Amino acid sequence: MVYSYYPGCTLKNKAQDLDRYARMSAEALGFTLQEIEEWQCCGAVYPLASDEIATKLSAVRALNDAKEKGQDLVTLCSACHHVIKRVNDDMQHVEDIRTRANNYLKLDEPYLGETKVLHFLEVLRDRVGFDTLKEKVVRPLTGRKIGAYYGCMLLRPSSVMAFDDPENPTVMEDFIRALGAEPVVYPFRNECCGGYISLKDKPLAGSLVDKVMESAVCHGAEELITACPLCLYNLRNSGSREKVPVTYLTEILAEALGLLPEKEAPDHAAASGAEGQGEYAEGGDADV
Amino acid sequence: MHRIGVFVCHCGTNIAATVDIDRVVAAAAKEPGVVHAEDYQYMCSEAGQLKVREAIKEKQLTGIVVCSCSPRMHENTFRQAAQRAGLNPYMVEIANIREHCSWIHKDREEATEKAIILARAAIAKVMLNAPLTAGTSRVVKRALVIGGGIAGIQTALDIAEAGYKVDIVEKTPSIGGRMSQLDKTFPTLDCSACILTPKMVEAAAHENITIYTYSEVEKVTGFVGDFHVEIRKKARSVDMSKCTGCGVCQEKCPSKKAPNEFNRGLDKRSAIYTPFAQAIPNVPVIDREHCIKFKTGKCGVCAKVCQAGAIDYEQKDEIITENYGAIVVATGFDTIKLDKYDEYAYSQSPDVITSLELERIMNAAGPTKGHLERMSDHRAPKSMVFIQCVGSRCADNRGKSYCSKICCMYTAKHAMLIRDKYPDVDVTVFYIDVRTPGKNFDEFYRRAVEEYGVHYIKGQVGKVAPQGDKLLVQGVDLLDNRRILMETDMVVLATAIEPNPDVRKIATMLTASIDTNNFLTESHAKLRPVESPTAGIFLSGVCQGPKDIPETVAQAGAAAVKVVGLLAKDHLVTNPCVAKSDTLLCNGCSSCEKVCPYGAISYEEQEVNDHGIRETRRVAVVNSALCQGCGACTVACPSGAMDLQGFSNRQILAEVDAICR
């Protein structure tokens, strides 16, 4: 099975792990992520202004590319996923946006929202199946207590994202369980990390991250996973309280599938927030 | 020779602002057969009706057309006016130029054009109208009330006091309803049981009232004045005539694992049970799902300890058949399920409860004997948060769009009672708006704030999170423009109310209409608020819309008055616009019988004279008392033998011709 794949800017530099481990794992699980050609930045923020059209065009181009190939479009980054799925929904349901985007792009055939947009987790859950995933695990993450951090954008608005209950989601917990680890459910797993506010008001982002970390630790999480580069940045770098390690969900997936060489596999006994911070220490102004 | 009169109503500016009345009058006057056409500002007024009556007499009119509002509004008014002037009331036609024309069009030219066409169609139809005579049907002097809560009890009492027999059918083992679960009632804080139980006793003792508890309405046929109802009296497994209500069986019952519905599942009850101590009748029921005897065949403890020998494991459901002149629906409400509101952690923490659960906790007969405590560890809370509008006034599709109306007041009541009894407990209420439009209601709410120090915060709560043995509440203060993250010990959700889920089934049986929220629809929102559009069906209590106890009692009385008004009549005038079969055309195929929803069509062997050929044929016969004039048979009949009087195929086609002309 081949899927069109939209990586997004961050996955090409700061979040290369998210991208790399996803592709490796996909092959091991029997599907291919085929990067679409000449993709552009999704804009990173879904434009709420109803008369704003230019910032939606990039998503439409990517969606149309997948349509022409007859493939579903897979994304990984929460922000890209959010933007592309919502723009696709607009193309399906908002006549004004659909008309204006098509007038502007002058495609051979108008794009009417035909492409199905899937998050990588949806592919694992609905196409591969967590039971099959469990069978393919060669190095189960037995004994590890992992908390899923959903953030706010992955599942909301639920009517458009339509992939899990935004208030009490289970998809990442089921994923963690399939890998042999113990999922830790904590209430603030779907709260905002602060997002881009960390550029402007660091203490505010810090207060939000502290709340998430405290909730996770209090419920027994020893590490966190996320799908979002910006969430990962904030969880690692904002706030003042003691942290647990944060990694991308694709990293533990690759690890459980036995795709990491022994030395590359993160040493979780020694892992701490500081490890990741090196990589991101100067990254605060670049791509987040 | 037809002599038709046309009367065009301005309806103030309702019609006249959009429709050129003069042109309608002029166009109508030119129609063949029309000998009189005039207009008036309010044709339905006494002066307007006088114009109609005088014209009928002076011009010897044989039929009239009134161009006005919907026939649902004033068809009857003008029929009566015609009758007073000596014209058969079924020689009246209404052209609806208000709802179907002026109210829905903006363009005066187009609206005028349409009004003229509608008038022309009505004129074409009235030319083919035949005088009809209404028959009469009997009125059974007995009423049925479905639901034994405060609404049903009050309606039944008022009907019974007027001297008519009335039966209450209640699904649960006891009458009392939601009100019996409440602790105190706003705004006077009198104890709910103290004011309800005397009414329950009065209803049970009243010579005109029969109460069927643990029973459900199974089937309804017939029509206003003469409904035939089957009531399923579920097997109680206890002989009501022998049981003394001593309660020993409940004490000795070894199965004590059934969730206690009356306490909203906060504790357990025995398999043989009465819902609460003051239950009426005070006769227990065996819950066969949880009874060891019914599950395994071994036990029978209750039968052994019962001195009266009342336990009867062999008891079967019983069907009671009874005729009623009127039926009152008083099926009440339940709170909505909270599975779509996971952010409030209701399913995750026993310390997050609904307001109705708090009523049971506060009640001396409740699971905690009236002590305010957390259900998780039975510790007394030091702080509590109330969240209003959980599922009410909901903009997305998770909850209800309407205001549940009672929550602002009962939350103020809870907050005040807790502050009064436990002054150490800190109480915070999150609200969207505080709505207190009732007598002494706002004063009551202000007392909670000003005298009892309840913190009211305008803003919604986004998340309730169990953290350790506390609950974290995350919300906003919109007046102070700040986010709030606070710890508390208990959270109480003012959960939206919705009509009892069974109401859909009951409404279907009664052919009573319900709205998108499952509330029963009233016949007119302002002028007929306790009547269903289906004749003979009346509405009492929350089944019609959210309301508090005083409003429910008032509506219950109003419904009773309407029932009494109906039962006081000896006969009802029946609608003569019923189906009629032409025996010469009927080929006895049974198509009409199959589609008739009222069972009004039967077949008999009749001797017919078909152009000189005499033979006996099987032909359809309509029972005019049962026929409701729906017209389904006229469409189904392949030979065109069925016709609806007053709406014959010829008349309808004449209207269509006039419109297309």
Continuous H helices in B85-149: 108-126
Return the closest-CA partner of residue B98 out of B120, B115, B119. Answer: B115
Q: Which band of pLDDT confidence, cut at 50, 70 and 90, is reported for residue A266?
A: low
pLDDT value of position A283 = 40
| Residue B191 neighbours by CB distance under 10 Å | 14
Cβ–Cβ of A159/B396 closer than 8 Å?
A: yes
User: Last residue of a domain, which of A119, A140, A169?
Assistant: A119
Query: Is the C-alpha dihedral spanning B340, B342, B348, B350 positive or negative?
Result: negative
Query: Is the C-alpha dihedral spanning B611, B617, B623, B629 positive or negative?
Result: negative
Q: Which A residues, 180 through 199, put their C-beta within 8 Å of a C-beta on chain B?
A: 187-188, 191
Cβ–Cβ of B463/A168 closer than 8 Å?
A: no
A56 phi-psi bin (left φ>0, alpha ψ -120 to 50, beta other): alpha
Range of the domain at A138: 130-280
Q: Which band of pLDDT confidence, cut at 50, 70 and 90, is reported for residue A43?
A: confident
Cβ–Cβ of A167/B343 closer than 8 Å?
A: yes
Cβ–Cβ of A188/B485 closer than 8 Å?
A: no
| Residue B67 neighbours by CB distance under 10 Å | 31
- Do both A153 and A102 map to the same domain? no
Instruction: Say how far apart CA B284 and CA B244 lie, in whole Å.
Output: 10
- Do both A146 and A254 map to the same domain? yes
Residues of chain B scoring pLDDT < 50: none
Q: b/e string for B425-437 if b means 16 or more Cβ within 10 A? A: bbbbbbbeebbbe
Cβ–Cβ of B396/A167 closer than 8 Å?
A: no
Angle between helices B21-30 and B108-126 (to 10 degrees): 30
For A176, B35, B212, B581, the CA distances from B594, given in Å and listed in that order, are 59, 45, 34, 15
What CATH architecture does domain B142-176+195-230+321-332+505-567 belong to? 3-Layer(bba) Sandwich (3.50)
Q: Which band of pLDDT confidence, cut at 50, 70 and 90, is reported for residue A128?
A: very high
Has residue A277 got a pLDDT over 60? no
Instruction: Say how far apart CA B542 and CA B498 lie, in whole Å.
Output: 8
Has residue A287 got a pLDDT over 80? no
- Do both A163 and A90 map to the same domain? no
Residues in B touching A188 (Cβ below 8 Å) = 463, 465
Nearest Cβ partner for B463 among A165, A187, A218: A187
Q: Which band of pLDDT confidence, cut at 50, 70 and 90, is reported for residue A262?
A: low
Has residue A288 got a pLDDT over 50? no
Give the mean pLDDT of A125-132: 96
Joined together, the tokens standing for residue B551 give 């409003």
| Residue B396, burial from CB neighbour count under 10 angstroms (0-12, 13-18, 19+) | exposed
Residues in B touching A168 (Cβ below 8 Å) = 342-343
Cβ–Cβ of B342/A168 closer than 8 Å?
A: yes
3-state secondary structure of B383: strand
pLDDT value of position A269 = 43
Q: End-to-end distance of chain A based on CA atoms, in angstroms?
A: 32
Q: Give me the total of CB pairs closer than 8 Å, taking one residue from chain A and one from chain B.
A: 25
| Residue A145, burial from CB neighbour count under 10 angstroms (0-12, 13-18, 19+) | middle
Nearest CA in chain B to A157: B396
Q: Which A residues, 108 through 167, put their C-beta within 8 Å of a C-beta on chain B?
A: 159, 165, 167
SS (H, E, C) B303-332: HHHCCCCCECCCCCCEEEEEEECEEEECCC
Chain B residues touching chain A at CB-CB below 8 Å: 341-343, 345, 348, 396-397, 463, 465-468, 472, 474, 485
Chain B interface includes A168 (CB < 8 A): yes
- Do both A140 and A265 map to the same domain? yes
Nearest CA in chain A to B464: A187
Pseudo-torsion of CA A68, A74, A75, A78, nearest 10°?
A: 120
3-state secondary structure of B353: strand
What CATH architecture does domain B579-645 belong to? 2-Layer Sandwich (3.30)
State the best of B472, B483, B486 to mutate against chain A, taking most chain A CBs within 10 Å: B472
The answer to whether B4-126 and B142-176+195-230+321-332+505-567 have equal CATH topology is no
CATH assignment, B4-126: 3.40.50
Nearest CA in chain B to A191: B463
Percent of chain A with pLDDT over 90: 78
- Do both A139 and A271 map to the same domain? yes
pLDDT value of position A241 = 86
State the best of B351, B464, B467 to mutate against chain A, taking most chain A CBs within 10 Å: B467
Has residue A64 got a pLDDT over 90? yes
- Do both A96 and A134 map to the same domain? no
- Do both A6 and A67 map to the same domain? yes
pLDDT value of position A264 = 56
Q: Which band of pLDDT confidence, cut at 50, 70 and 90, is reported for residue A44?
A: confident
Has residue A272 got a pLDDT over 70? no
Cβ–Cβ of A165/B342 closer than 8 Å?
A: yes
Residues in A touching B472 (Cβ below 8 Å) = 187, 215
- Do both A139 and A276 map to the same domain? yes
Distance (Å) from the alpha carbon of A59 to chain B's nearest alpha carbon: 27
State the best of B343, B351, B397, B486 to mutate against chain A, taking most chain A CBs within 10 Å: B343
Residues in chain B: 661
- Amino acid making up residue B114: K
- Do both A103 and A139 map to the same domain? no
- Amino acid making up residue B564: V
Has residue A263 got a pLDDT over 70? no
Chain B interface includes A201 (CB < 8 A): no
Cβ–Cβ of B466/A191 closer than 8 Å?
A: no
Q: Is the peptide bond before A229 cis (omega within 30 degrees of 0)?
A: no
Pseudo-torsion of CA A269, A270, A271, A275, nearest 10°?
A: -170
Q: Report yes or no on A177 lying in a domain.
A: yes
Q: In what order do the strands lie in the sheet with A117-119?
A: A32-35, A2-6, A73-75, A117-119
- Do both A181 and A231 map to the same domain? yes
User: Last residue of a domain, which of A119, A138, A169?
Assistant: A119
For A72, B9, B148, B177, B402, the CA distances from B496, given in Å and listed in that order, are 41, 45, 22, 17, 9
- Number of domains forming the structure of chain A: 2
pLDDT value of position A265 = 53
pLDDT digits (tens, 9 = 90+) for B230-272: 999 999 999 999 999 999 999 999 999 999 999 999 999 999 9
SS (H, E, C) chain A: CEEEEECCHHHHCCCHHHHHHHHHHHHHHCCEEEECCCCCCCCCCCCCCCCCCHHHHHHHHHHHHHHHHCCCEEECCHHHHHHHHHHHHHHHHCHHHHHHHHHHHCCCCCCCCCCCEEEHHHHHHHHHCHHHHHHHCCCCCCCCEEEEECCCCCCCCHHHHCCCCCCCCCHHHHHHHHCCCEEECCHHHHCCCCCCHHHHCHHHHHHHHHHHHHHHHHCCCCEEEECCHHHHHHHHHCCCCCCCCEEEHHHHHHHHCCCCCCCCCCCCCCCCHHHHHHHHCCHHHCCC
Instruction: Say how far apart CA B166 and CA B152 lie, in whole Å.
Output: 11
Residues in chain A: 288
pLDDT digits (tens, 9 = 90+) for A166-210: 988 999 999 999 999 999 999 899 999 999 999 999 999 999 999
Q: Which A residues, 32 through 91, put their C-beta within 8 Å of a C-beta on chain B?
A: none
User: Last residue of a domain, which of A119, A150, A174?
Assistant: A119
Mean residue pLDDT of chain A comes to 89
pLDDT value of position B136 = 87
Return the closest-CA partner of residue B128 out of B660, B487, B661, B657. Answer: B657
- DSSP letter, residue B531: B
Q: b/e string for B207-238 if b means 16 or more Cβ within 10 A? A: ebbbbbbbbbbbebebbbbbbebebbbbbbbb
| Residue A129 neighbours by CB distance under 10 Å | 13
- Do both A8 and A107 map to the same domain? yes
Instruction: Say how far apart CA A62 and CA A35 lie, in whole Å.
Output: 10
Q: pTM for the full model?
A: 0.82
- Do both A114 and A8 map to the same domain? yes
Residues in A touching B397 (Cβ below 8 Å) = 159
In B122-208, DSSP assigns E strands to 136-138, 142-146, 165-169, 184-185, 190-191
Query: Is the C-alpha dihedral spanning A22, A25, A29, A33 positive or negative?
Result: positive
Q: Report yes or no on A286 lying in a domain.
A: no
Residue pair A146/A184 in contact (Cβ under 8 Å)? The answer is yes
Residue pair B344/B496 in contact (Cβ under 8 Å)? The answer is no
Domain extents in chain B = 4-126, 142-176+195-230+321-332+505-567, 248-305, 334-498, 579-645
What CATH architecture does domain B334-498 belong to? 3-Layer(bba) Sandwich (3.50)
